[in-house]
Amino acid sequence: MPLRSSSSLVRPAGSGRANGPGTSPARHPAGSRQHARGARAERLAPYILLAPAILIIVALRLWPLLLGVNFSFTGDGADNGTTVGWANYLELLEDPLFRGALGNVGLLVVLLPVAVAIPGLLATFIYLRVPGHRVYRSVYFFPAVLSPVIIGAIFNLMLAFDGPLNAVLAVIGLGPVDWLGDPDVAKFTVVGVHIWATFGMALVVFLAGFASLNPSLLDAARVDGASLRQSIWHVIIPSLTRTIQFVFVTTMIGMLTSMFGLLYVMTSGGPEGSTYLPEYYIWIQQGQMNRPALASAASTVLFLIMLVAGLLQISVLRRAGREN
Amino acid sequence: MPGRRLSKWVVAVPMGVLALVTIYPLVFTANVAMKTRREYILDRFSLTDSLRWDNLVTAWTSIGMARYFANSLIVVTASVVTLLLLGSMAGFALSQLRFRGSKAFFLGCLAALFIPFQVIMVPLARVMADTGLIDTYPGLVLAYVAQFLPFTIFLMTSYYKTIPAEIVDAARIDGNTVYGVYRRIMLPMGAPALLSVGILNALFCWNDVLISLLMMPSADHRTLMVGVTSLRGQYSDDIPTFASGVLIAAVPVLLTYLFLQRQIADGVTAGSTKG
């Protein structure tokens, strides 16, 4: 706003809103002289309103981020405080547990389209008003508001070797499967439980996207004889690009940062370290191994992964949206 | 169109099964919580023959769930009140007031939104330890406020942007100071958003385990979710009592969901439509 400085010169006693959009003298008929004493306080008001929030965000979020990056180049234990260069990062690369954790991140990225497609498809059916759609919406969303700790504790019971799931499998002549004790199975079990617990969140976001969809487009497609699959592919997906993009990014962030509770309760990273994720690795190194500098290096790696993956997805999806 | 109706049922049946699968684990847990240990070992699937509250009473009184529950209630209440106060103040300033640097502040908030807790937890624990705030209620409240404030500010700002400037101007003409406008206009008019964001924040704080685990290491400061994780080792041979503890921790969320589902959904989707 180029007029900002001049307008405040014209009305030095103006209030905090003096520079506001479309402010005209007519809106302050009482004249600003009476408010002259309070003017200074009024001008400072926005900063006073913001001060506590800024203080907390800078001191407890932005500053720690810098502190952590700095910290990751120092040593642990006897070397506490001395600069060690890239030593922590090299150690991470050689640690099979951290490499396993990165491998599991790769697995999550591969499974990401599944975790987005399931709620997307279910939301489509709910939008098309299959019988009982109101009930489904409420029921599916419910696990998403439960703590991962509760979900994990419940599934410890469900997935026990002699628990309900194996009992069901026995009826159809399968299993039993050692869901949480077999290193090849456990990671899929945990991801499965995570998807089960969170797909309702994405579902609700998709439904909000559908609310902004123009229904006449779908009607037109139907009149033209399009099948459901063609409607989804040529009408729904192109019109919901923004929503799909949002769900992709939030689902990935969720997978990388909100599985701690499940891991902590269900597997503790085991069996044989097969269910480690970076966030769990950071927790173990900081809390149990007393290696805060190494943990900081892992934090920095996790931050970079999330940054790159987030930006990559946005650019890919944006390009896809443009082609359509 | 009978064909289309039939195909809808073809989809509806698996969706109904999925709904049952979604609800069953909770029903199973509630059922187990009502059983005696003997009953559980003999047959864990049958419905309990009577509603027994003994396990719940045991969990509440003798294994510390009451204490954990109170800790969670204190911390969540303090955190949500602080978040709503600071979030609405900042949201008001960023949406309705013009001042130097307002864009920069908003972008700073957005940047903070994308810093996950895991990335800053090590240095944050150190800052808290250095300031003597670790293992204290104010420390945990501060950690929660710092974690969820950017999100709160973001939503309150976008909500307050929908309030016409004329209303604020009219209140100013009536002689209100900026703070008067905040108290008399912004707080009451922001009520729907404050309710939605407040519930969402309450759920986030109530459900959290990592931040609490890190900030409140001592046993009698445990919040409810950390308390539940500690049950696993202690009561691995007494599943009904374990299930009772889990149920106690889940019930407040269940009640919130039953009555305020729409507000929760509004909060979750606000970011997707306005971002």
Number of folded domains that form chain B: 2
pLDDT exceeds 50 at position A10:
no
Q: How many Å apart are CA A321 and CA B256, to the nearest integer?
A: 38
**Domain of B75?**
63-274
DSSP-H helix ranges across chain A? 4-10, 36-57, 63-71, 87-94, 96-127, 133-141, 148-158, 164-171, 183-211, 215-223, 228-231, 237-239, 241-257, 260-262, 278-283, 292-323
Rounded CA-CA distance B152/B143 in Å is 14
Give the Cα-Cα-Cα angle A36, B95, A24 (nearest 5 degrees): 45
Residue numbers in A near B28 (CB within 8 A)? 154, 157-158, 164
DSSP symbol at A58: I
> Is B22 in contact with A196 (Cβ distance < 8 A)?
yes
Q: Model confidence over B77-131: pLDDT tens digits? A: 999 999 999 999 999 999 988 888 888 888 888 888 888 899 999 999 989 999 9
CB-based contacts of B229, cutoff 8 Å, min separation 6: A149, A153, A264, A265, B209, B213
| B200, B79: one domain | yes
Q: Is residue B174 a part of any domain in this protein?
A: yes
- A32 close contact with B: CB closer than 8 A: no
Inspect the interface and report whether the beta carbons of A149 and B225 lie closer than 8 Å. Answer: yes
Whether B7 contacts chain A with CB within 8 A: yes
The answer to whether B246 contacts chain A (CB < 8 Å) is: yes
Q: Token pair 């509806």 is at which residue?
A: B12
Among A30-44, A215-229, B35-49, the range with the most confident prediction by mean pLDDT is: A215-229
pLDDT at site A232: 83
Residues of chain A with CATH 1.10.3720.10: 87-323
**Interface size, chain A vs chain B, as Cβ–Cβ contacts under 8 Å:** 300
Query: By mean pLDDT, which of A198-202, A296-300, B55-59, B130-134 is the weakest?
Result: B55-59
Structure confidence at residue A22 as a pLDDT band (50, 70, 90): very low
Q: Say which residue, A82 or A313, is predicted with more confidence.
A: A82
Mean pLDDT over each residue of chain B, to the nearest integer: 87
Distance from the A187 Cα atom to the nearest Cα atom in chain B, whole angstroms: 20
Closest-approach residue (CA) in chain A for B142: A56
Share of chain A above pLDDT 90, in %: 33
Q: Does B91 lie in the same domain as B166?
A: yes
Chain B nearest-CA residue for A53: B86
d(CA B254, CA B251): 5
For chain B, give the percent of residues with pLDDT over 70. 95
Looking at residue A317, what is its pLDDT?
Answer: 63
The single residue listed with the structure tokens 């809103």 is A17
- Using a CB-CB distance cutoff of 8 angstroms, which residues of chain B are in contact with residue A98? none
Q: Is residue B265 part of a domain?
A: yes
Q: Does one domain contain both B88 and B11?
A: no
CATH architecture of the domain covering A87-323: Orthogonal Bundle (1.10)
One-character DSSP codes across A151-212: HHHHHHHHTSTTSHHHHHHHHTT-----TTT-HHHHHHHHHHHHHHHHHHHHHHHHHHHHHT
- Residues B38 and B95 occupy one common structural domain: no
Interface of B with A in 121-180 (CB under 8 A): 121-127, 142-143, 145-147, 149-150, 153, 165, 168-169, 172-173, 175, 177-179
Q: Residue B220: what pLDDT?
A: 86
> Per the CB < 8 Å rule, is B87 touching A53?
yes
Check: CB of residue B112 under 8 Å from CB of residue A61: yes
> Same domain for B136 and B13?
no
Q: Tell me: pLDDT of A126 over 60.
A: yes
CA distance B1 to B66: 57
**In angstroms, what separates the C-alpha of B94 from chain A's closest C-alpha?**
8
Is the confidence at residue A116, as pLDDT, over 70?
Answer: yes
The pLDDT of A50-69, averaged and rounded, is 92
| Angstrom distance (rounded) from CA B127 to CA B145 | 15
Out of B8, B146, B208, whose CB is closest to A61? B146
* Residue B219 distance to chain A (closest CA, Å): 15
Measured distance CA(A97)–CA(B222) in Å, rounded? 29
What is the phi/psi pair of residue A16, to 5°? -60, -25
Longest dimension (CA), chain B: 76
Same domain, yes or no: B194 and B148:
yes
- Mind listing the pLDDT tens digit for each residue in B220-254? 889 999 988 888 777 777 888 888 889 989 999 99
Q: Do B110 and B26 sit in the same domain of this protein? A: no
> Per residue in B260-274, pLDDT tens?
888 888 888 876 665
Same domain, yes or no: B260 and B160: yes
Q: What is the model's pLDDT at position A321?
A: 58
Tell me the C-alpha distance between B163 and B184, whole Å. 14
In a domain, B259, yes or no: yes
Residue B58 is assigned to a structural domain of this protein: no
Residue A289: pLDDT band with limits 50, 70, 90: confident
B window 85-114, beta carbon within 8 A of A: 86-87, 89-90, 92-94, 96-99, 102, 105, 108-109, 111-112, 114
pLDDT over 90 for what percent of chain B? 41
Instruction: Give domain status of residue B185, yes or no.
Output: yes
- Look at residue A154 and tell me whether its pLDDT is greater than 80: yes
pLDDT of residue B255: 92
Please report whether residue B23 resides in a domain.
yes
Query: pTM value?
Result: 0.87
One domain for residues B168 and B114:
yes
> For residue A243, what pLDDT is reported?
87
> Which residue reads 């100013």 in tokens?
B172
Residue B195: CATH number of its domain: 1.10.3720.10
Place of tokens 């001042």: B99
Angle subtended at Cα A190 by Cα A167 and Cα B224, rounded to the nearest 5 degrees:
95
Tokens of A82: 């001395």
Query: For position A8, what pLDDT does the model report?
Result: 35
Length of chain A (residues): 324
B18 and B146 assigned to the same domain: no
Does some domain include residue B221?
Answer: yes
Q: pLDDT by residue (tens digit) across B156-209?
A: 998 999 999 888 888 888 888 889 899 998 999 999 999 999 999 999 999 999
Which pLDDT does position B242 carry in this prediction? Answer: 87
**Which residue in A has a C-alpha nearest to residue B13's C-alpha?**
A131
Token pair recorded at residue A152: 């994990």
Mutate: best of A15, A32, A61, partner B, most B CBs <10 A: A61
What is d(CA A304, CA A301) in angstroms, rounded to the nearest whole number? 5
Q: Identify whether residues B33 and B137 lie together within a single domain.
A: no
- Which tens digits make up the pLDDT trace of A243-270? 888 888 888 888 888 889 999 999 888 7
First to last CA, chain A: 37
A170 pLDDT tier (thresholds 50, 70, 90): confident
Q: Are residues B128 and B48 in the same domain?
A: no
Percent of chain A with pLDDT over 70: 85
Chain A nearest-CA residue for B167: A27
Q: What are phi and psi of A80, to 5 degrees?
A: -50, 125
